[in-house]
Amino acid sequence: MAKLYVTTKYGVTPQDLLQEERKIKDSFFKQRLTAVRLVMEGHSATSASQMLGICRQSVSTYI
């Protein structure tokens, strides 16, 4: 499987996502943002899914 990659086309950085994660109350949306941030930081979908306790396919879907 090819490594997932998130572009920064719109100028959003992992630090921006981390700041948003801290503001969000909805745990499901927070989990999605965290998955995207982890992949942006260089983690694989498998690694991110293990950190979050979700399946790899969910991380791939979020990206």
pTM of the model as a whole: 0.84
pLDDT given for residue 1 in this prediction: 61
Return per-residue pLDDT of the chain as tens, 63 residues: 677 767 777 888 899 999 999 999 999 999 999 999 999 999 999 999 999 999 999 999 998
**49 contacts 58 by C-beta, under 8 angstroms:** yes
Rounded Cα distance between 63 and 6, Å, is 7
Q: How far is CA 50 from the centre of its chain?
A: 12
pLDDT given for residue 10 in this prediction: 80
